[in-house]
Amino acid sequence: MSRAYQDVAVGEELPELSVPLTRTMIVATALASRDYQDVHHDPSLAAERGSKDVFMNILTSNGLVDRYVTEWAGPAAVVKKIKIRLGAPNYPGDTMLLTGSVTAKDDSGRSVEIAVKGVNSIGPHVSGTVVVQLPEGSES
């Protein structure tokens, strides 16, 4: 079921989403997004370049932020803008916890802005904002 614009309030918290960070997920999503940079799939080459292990690419982080918001907003929502920045790497064996809250509403476009943060055991991995357009009424 989709969220209706009029039912969303500034300050509303999105439910948390826990994302297990497996080696398979990190490698597969990098390759699926055609990011063949060795630091995303080869542990020994990642170590040669100063990393403790392979780490998640920004395209996957962006996709997880999109998934997090659209899972809350529902299938009728339209993502208008995603603006993120990366911090601590997402390494295999860790977990990223995504949280968010509605920070603004725009009546003219039925859009809401959501501040999103993804944190792992070493600190904030991703932070930013997502603007999503919501339907006027409840839709399934």
pLDDT in tens, 13-58: 999 999 999 999 999 999 999 878 888 888 899 999 999 999 999 9
Angstrom distance (rounded) from CA 4 to CA 88: 34
Per-residue b/e over 89-112, b at no fewer than 16 CB within 10 Å? bbbbebebebebebeebeeeebbb
DSSP per residue, 48-103: HTT-SS----HHHHHHHHHHHHHHHH-TT-EEEEEEEEE-S---TTEEEEEEEEEE
Residue 140 scores a pLDDT above 70: no
43 found inside a domain: no
Residue 139 scores a pLDDT above 90: no
Confidence of residue 78 (pLDDT cuts 50, 70, 90): very high
Out of 21-30, 36-45, 59-68, 123-132, which region has the weakest mean confidence (pLDDT)? Answer: 36-45
Please tell me the total count of domains within the chain: 1
Residue range(s) defining the domain that contains residue 122: 5-21+57-133
User: What is the structure's pLDDT at 133?
Assistant: 96
Q: Which two tokens stand for residue 32?
A: 């699926």
* 82 contacts: CB under 8 Å, gap ≥ 6: 62, 65, 66, 128, 129, 130, 131
33 found inside a domain: no
Confidence of residue 1 (pLDDT cuts 50, 70, 90): confident
27 found inside a domain: no
pLDDT in tens, 82-96: 999 999 999 999 999
Of 116, 117, 38, nearest to 79 by C-alpha is 116
77 found inside a domain: yes
103 found inside a domain: yes
pTM for the structure as a whole: 0.92
Q: The CATH number of the domain where 66 resides is what?
A: 3.10.129.10
Query: Under DSSP, is residue 128 helix (H, G, I), strand (E, B) or coil?
Result: strand
126 found inside a domain: yes
E strand or H helix at 38: none
48 found inside a domain: no
Mean pLDDT of the chain: 94
